[in-house]
Amino acid sequence: MSTTGEELDELDRAVLQLEAEHWKYRGAKESAIRSRLGLSPVHYYQRLNSLISSEAAARHAPMLISRLRRARSR
């Protein structure tokens, strides 16, 4: 994971892509985390939390990271 580096790795980009999706049914996101990324929800959210602080992630998905930073600061 590249939280301070210049680029995001493939898993970081996949985490951001999954987080940008909208989930209609309860449990669908957790199921997608396990099946698409091979991560437990706990590890997914730990990685996502690191990405929220990452400038590389902000360059890759500026609107998503801005929204997540606002939500975290509440």
For residue 3, pLDDT over 50 is answered with no
Residue 1 has pLDDT above 80, yes or no: no
Residue 61 has what pLDDT?
A: 97
* CA-closest candidate to residue 33, choices 22, 24, 44: 44
pLDDT tens, residue by residue, 6-59? 789 999 999 999 999 999 998 999 999 999 999 999 999 999 999 999 999 999
